[in-house]
């Protein structure tokens, strides 16, 4: 359950006591909303993910450590506030949050998100070699960052099928987007939308010339 201000509650029931959410609740919620956008191409999921991310930055982020506290600034229950960075059976809440901000920084062309991601990864790199087994999700993030993130803007009558073909390759550093005329996403602005089948591969900084086949688009990506 999410309040109008963006705060999540761990329990929502008329009979049960409501409990305020922690960082992992927010991080996994944001990641799920990004994935729902990827599957449905419904931008409302992505806009909701951005609102939740902005709430987390305002209420959990530490300017001193460049990471996120596990509890919000206004959460009075913990005696001391911890920062969860070690991955175990599940990725740490900070790793999940940074992964989501990485995608949001690309889709919304947000320098603010990009700065947080860069600072967090620089912070973690200095610690991770002290216990490699506790930083699995972080290593995955670093690998994808070094390989490069790609978006593929797809238009034309075969857009749905072309997206399905790209999704089948399962590349965690790639997201295929179907171009929409009235998109609210900065990454979609000034892109060609029409009946002709086009696939335009973009990195974090530039877009390549459009091509007409999935095979051509995939050849641009590592």
Concatenate the DSSP letters of all residues of 19-72 into one string: -B--HHHHHHHHHHHHHHHHHH--HHHHHHHHHHHHHHHHHHB-TTTSSB-SS-
Give the pLDDT band (50/70/90) at residue 46. Answer: very high
Domain that holds residue 137: 23-147
Question: Which pTM was predicted?
Answer: 0.90
Give the pLDDT band (50/70/90) at residue 28. Answer: very high
Q: Which two tokens stand for residue 94?
A: 């900070």
**How high does pLDDT run on average in the chain?**
88
Residues 109 and 177 in one domain: no
Q: Are 195 and 179 in contact (CB under 8 A)?
A: no
Element holding 192 (H helix, E strand): none
The answer as to whether 41 is a domain residue is yes
Q: Give the model's pLDDT for residue 183.
A: 86
Residues 107 and 131 in one domain: yes
Residues 88 and 192 in one domain: no
Q: Give the model's pLDDT for residue 149.
A: 96
Among 122, 124, 123, 104, CA closest to 114: 104
Give the pLDDT band (50/70/90) at residue 18. Answer: low
* pLDDT tens by residue, 52-89: 999 999 999 999 999 999 988 876 665 567 899 998 88
Q: Which residue has the higher pLDDT, 111 or 205?
A: 111
Instruction: Determine the Cα–Cα distance for residues 145 and 139; give it in Å rounded to an integer.
Output: 10
Residues 90 and 57 in one domain: yes
């Amino acid at each position: 359950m999410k309040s109008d201000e963006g705060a999540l509650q761990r329990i929502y029931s008329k009979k049960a006591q409501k409990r305020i959410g922690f960082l992992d609740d927010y991080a996994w919620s944001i990641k799920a909303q990004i994935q729902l956008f990827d599957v449905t191409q419904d931008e409302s999921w992505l806009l909701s993910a951005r609102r939740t991310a902005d709430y987390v930055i305002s209420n959990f982020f530490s300017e001193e450590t460049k990471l996120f506290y596990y509890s919000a600034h206004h959460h009075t229950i913990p005696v001391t506030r911890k920062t969860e960075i070690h991955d175990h059976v599940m990725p740490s809440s900070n790793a999940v949050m940074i992964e989501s901000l990485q995608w949001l920084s690309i889709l919304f062309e947000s320098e603010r998100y990009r700065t947080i991601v860069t600072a967090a990864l620089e912070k973690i790199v200095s610690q991770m070699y002290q216990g490699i087994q506790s930083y699995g999700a972080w290593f995955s993030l670093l690998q994808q960052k070094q390989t490069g993130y790609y978006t593929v803007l797809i238009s034309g009558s075969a857009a749905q099928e072309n997206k399905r073909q790209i999704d089948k390759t399962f590349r965690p550093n790639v997201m295929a987007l179907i171009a929409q005329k009235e998109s609210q996403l900065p990454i979609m602005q000034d892109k060609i939308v029409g009946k002709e089948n086009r696939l335009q591969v973009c990195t974090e900084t530039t877009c390549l010339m459009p091509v007409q086949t999935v095979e051509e688009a995939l050849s641009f990506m590592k």
